[in-house]
Structure 1
Amino acid sequence: MPRSQSPTCDVDALIDAVIDREGRYVNHPADRGGPTCWGITEAVARAEGYAGPMRAMPRDSAAAIYRRLYWLRPGFDRVALRAPAIAAELFDTGVNMGTATATGFLQRALNALNRSARDYPDIAVDRAIGPRTLAALDGFLKARGKRGEVVLLRAIEALQGERYIALAERRPSQEAFLYGWLANRIGEA
């Protein structure tokens, strides 16, 4: 089922999908993140207390990091209570681009879709989920209904796709990843 049709947001399933997509140990020379295991970079693993070899990082350690850093800390769990498909997209985008970037996409899209502040006031694009962002999301969903979640999801994915292409244009070494990003990170993932 496409994410946009999901009536609830199962964070365990989201985490499993990311881990399955990312795979085990990788150390691609063009990846500026360096060695990763289950999609967790060595820098993040070390900051979160994992001291072992990256090749041996347990899957459950990665899952705990995803839950803590990419779901709870940015507040995507609070978005999930209102718009599960949006929360799923923010989580996946946050894993790949950073949670602040994902949140900024949401805020920009909400501002662009508020019909010149007739539906709800503009919000600061501060890249953090807070009461104003949640109120804007509530206002959007009230004004646009369930179909609105699908349209908002498309707007966030459009911003994500534009960022991938711009990244590949600025740094040709990143073209090695562009096809996979577009195929696996936008639309049904």
Structure 2
Amino acid sequence: MPDNATPAEIRLAQYSQRTKTWAIATYNDGTEKALHKIALELKDEIDRLRTQRRFLISQLAKKDVRSGEGDRKLREFLGIEEQLAAAEPQPVSPCWPTAVICGSTKHMDRLQAAAATCTRQGWAVHMPHLTEVDDRLAETLAAMWRALIAEATVVVVVPKPDGSLGDATAGELAYAEGLGKPVLRWDPRIKDVVW
């Protein structure tokens, strides 16, 4: 349990510990079990949103440090003036934020453009390089990619020229979302990544 847990999160964790020893019959008419499941799902969504908020704050802090100006309206909307002030330039850390690029290797130019943008934004980038692989190597690479996604700061999805995603990329997107990772999308019209 994090030190900054809310009272509701503490009570939910205590309740979860208590229910681990219950049999199915211990729940009343099933309503209690359903409400507990809903509460856990809401907590997961809140954790995901908190992660995205921290990411946005860090990106705004970087933008402010680099250019001397920030997006005032977004900072006001997020209510993060104090956090940004506290996030003034930190000493350079050897641990860089990472971006994992997911997309079809048939459109390598798009993957490279997205990777270049992410690199310019200060992320260490992982992207596919092999355009043809056999089934055995494909399985190994899929497992490796999931591990990279799990450790990544953000995941950048690069759609095909028609805007669609292939099956493998859609699977990687679903995996990243399931982990609560911030997912950005490469937009070739503006040559940038967007939410």
Looking at CA atoms only, which structure, 1 or 2, has the larger radius of gyration?
Answer: 2
Q: TM-score, normalised by structure 1?
A: 0.26
Higher helix share: 1
* Greater strand share, structure number: 2
